[in-house]
A and B are shown apart, each in its own frame.
Chain A
């Protein structure tokens, strides 16, 4: 059959990339002193399956490379080689190389052969050194010189060991000439125990040439002593044809160790009697049929005029039959017969022994109980065979998400209609609507969950990164990660990677000190870097913290002054100083390194996080470390919002940022220069932002006691929004304003309300920024 293997490429690539990630993670977990056997096995398995797949698909360079790697891993697995730093490094580099090779093959681009050859050379070197021979380096050099495939073939076909020995000389001569082989095949009684079938072997032999079969019933016990599980028959076979010994051995390959086998080359090759052979096979079939084994079509014996082969004995003498079976055969021949020579004339004999107990069969009839059947059907129906998950493209999910979003709008439209409905059916209608709303919410949650992925997808890159960077900078760093299973939206996940990388690099480069510095400070020489993720309220919290030097406020302030970010006389608290590092153009590193200095500052990190609707803050403990806390929304698609009214406009305030809504008296308001109107709230002065001023709309009232103050928090600051009224709370689907219109400071997006009108979703940090800029200008 012709099967187009390319249809399986995608599955292979995807699987291999995942496996490589796993291999990398396992390598990083590997403890050099006492490596975990299961980890090494996992690593081995990855190399092993990539090798298998590559060989299958004809990706020979990858197959060759992984073969060397597998050999090395096998040494590790068998404890013949210790995992050293050098080997661990080599294996990690090999992971990178395999990844790149797979990518290249996937993109149908050439592989960087030199790099692969270099790595393979290193691998072979380690193996050669283990072998310890003086000539080893030379061998390895030769292996590299003579292309990778040569190196592979050196390892690819280890000699096959076995219980029966043979001289390979006869087998190695090309089997073109006619030969006559004598084969003694004496299965051990347990042959059937491994599911092997002598009939299959005889049939295969008959395909090779002209086969003469002689059954040896010597060991056949009397009927009552017959053990159905055992094989009692033995065979003396004569095979003529252009066959070499290897081909014959191949037939018995699986029975090796379950039989005594001798293969001898006869000096003369008399013509075989076709008819006899045919009859013999047919008769054997009859025996099998009588014993319940499956029948088969008669084997066509090849008629051939055998030439006289060279006199040469290839096989070792067969050991005498080890089994002293009772010699009471069911066949008509008496016990005296050492060998019951079954000829064409004697053919009917076995068939005349109908009382014979059935031979054990190779393919027992399936006899399953009814309940088993139903269970098996259940197993089949449940689609076992794949791991119970399916891969779906993101576009499809986004499409679904979008449709659900539209549905939510339609649903809230209906709810609004239902509220004004009157008449006998109205109550029932509203009941239905409530049901619809509940189902909508569930549907929305389900679809949202489809888009959720554990943050480990982002975290997984860090062990390797931290290790490599620490090594490069001569630092000792231990990375601890928690909450890797915390799930968040795929879009958020994709965009949080870069900011996290930046923070981690910063920590390693600027935060954690070199071992000698740490020791001098009375710390442990090994620095600790933590990545923690967790749910907090409706948000996800991701923290990057270290026990390094922390931020130095004095240095930050000095730098900010030098760069003109703050005025020469402006006093800055330590806390405010830490905020300065997020300003554009700020970098305290004296020289930019290739680790953290790429012209990108923390301002970009903050911007990225803000674009995700999140926030970032830093908690500094000078001399003892810094903690960067990123707060992110679960999803970018939907927000729980509070509708507020200002004049004729509706706005949405994300529910998560609302602390309290209250009415205040005119008198409780103070005016502070530079900060505008403030009022006392929980022992603090909170500035009031009049939304109608900010958005330039006509309010219902300008009197504070006629409206409401909504206390909200953004960027760690609290403000009171002065609004006309609070409307309902609802989940709203966020529609990007930027893709449909343009960016507006203080607005993070828009949504369509149930009545079809558009409401802007407020971006509170932006609003606070806008308002304070306005206040300063005043």
Chain B
């Protein structure tokens, strides 16, 4: 089963994403900020990383930048889950190396559809 790492500082959001993805059979690991995610990503490999942008410690864009620089994540899809859908934000995500983005509000069906698309 594909392994997905999701990163969000909100426990409620983490819980929702985890329940949604695991119910669809994905293997999910979670981190509460970029720094923790980077540690987990370093210790393992994932088929997909979904990260929130605005987080304490290390924000999502910095995380994406770090991951892209790592050989094992050079081509891994990295999705940014964000409430900020502005073009400026998306551009920043792109420049950091994100594959794409998911705009909140969180919708389980949309999340699953996108994940399925990316992991096919």
Contact = CB atoms under 8 A, between A and B. Distances in A.
B75 A192 contact: yes
Given A3-B108, A56-B106, A45 B54 contact: yes
Contacts of A197: 77, 118
A161 B20 CA distance: 32
A157 B90 CA distance: 13
Contacts of B100: 196, 253-254
A183 B85 CA distance: 26
A52 B56 contact: no
A160 B84 CA distance: 12
A193 B98 CA distance: 9
A89 to B, nearest CB: 25
A461 interface: no
A555 B33 CA distance: 59
Contacts of A56: 13, 16, 104-107
Interface in B58-89: 68, 72, 74-78, 83-88
Interface string B84-120: 1111101100100111110011111100100001111
B12 A53 contact: yes
A254 B101 contact: yes
A386 interface: yes
Interface string B5-24: 00001111111101110011
A719 to B, nearest CB: 54
A363 B45 contact: no
Contact of A362 (B12, B19, B36, B77): B77
Given A8-B16, A360-B75, A384 B83 contact: no
Q: Name the residue in B18, B99, B106 with the highest tally of chain A Cβ atoms < 10 Å from its Cβ.
A: B99
Given A158-B87, A361-B75, A362-B75, A368 B44 contact: yes
Given A200-B118, A376-B43, A385-B14, A45 B20 contact: no
B56 A200 contact: no
Contacts of A195: 75-78, 97-99
Contacts of A256: 94
A380 B29 contact: yes
Nearest to B99: A195
Given A195-B75, A200-B120, A387-B11, A366 B83 contact: no
A582 interface: no
Interface in A362-384: 362-364, 366-368, 372-373, 375-376, 378-380, 384
Contact of A51 (B15, B39, B83, B86): B83
Interface string B34-55: 0010011001110100000011
A196 B99 contact: yes
A174 interface: no
B106 A384 contact: no
Q: Name the residue in A55, A195, A294, A367 with the highest tally of chain B Cβ atoms < 10 Å from its Cβ.
A: A195
B109 to A, nearest CB: 7
A188 B10 CA distance: 36
B104 A1 contact: no
B97 A11 contact: no
Given A48-B83, A379-B39, A8 B91 contact: no
Nearest to B83: A52
A67 B118 CA distance: 30
Given A372-B44, A379-B29, A385-B14, A158 B75 contact: no
Q: How many interface residues does chain A have, given as a range?
A: 35 or more
A232 interface: no
A5 B117 CA distance: 23
Contact of A160 (B14, B87, B107): B87
Q: Name the residue in B43, B105, B118 with the highest tally of chain A Cβ atoms < 10 Å from its Cβ.
A: B43
Contacts of B45: 366-368, 372
A379 B43 contact: yes
B15 A11 contact: yes
Given A254-B101, A364-B72, A385-B29, A45 B15 contact: no
A730 interface: no
Interface string A48-78: 1101110110000001000000000000000
A52 B105 contact: yes
Nearest to B120: A296
Given A253-B100, A360-B75, A376-B43, A157 B54 contact: no
Contacts of B23: 1, 3
A48 B54 contact: yes
Contacts of A159: 87
A713 interface: no
Given A51-B83, A195-B99, A200 B117 contact: yes
Nearest to B30: A385
B90 A384 contact: no
Interface string A428-469: 000000000000000000000000000000000000000000
Contacts of A3: 16, 19-20, 23, 108
Contacts of A162: 87
A158 B12 contact: no
Nearest to A295: B120
B29 A12 contact: no
A384 B41 CA distance: 12
Contacts of A15: 10-12
B10 A376 contact: no
Contacts of B18: 385
A387 B13 CA distance: 14
A175 to B, nearest CB: 20
Contacts of B85: 157-158
Contacts of B109: 1
A375 B44 contact: yes
A700 interface: no
9 contacts: A8-B19, A15-B12, A56-B13, A193-B97, A367-B45, A368-B45, A379-B43, A385-B14, A387-B11
Interface of B: 3, 9-16, 18-20, 23-24, 29-32, 36, 39-40, 43-45, 47, 54-56, 68, 72, 74-78, 83-88, 90-91, 94, 97-101, 104-109, 112, 117-120
Given A193-B75, A368-B44, A384-B30, 6 more contacts: A63-B105, A363-B47, A363-B76, A364-B76, A368-B72, A384-B31
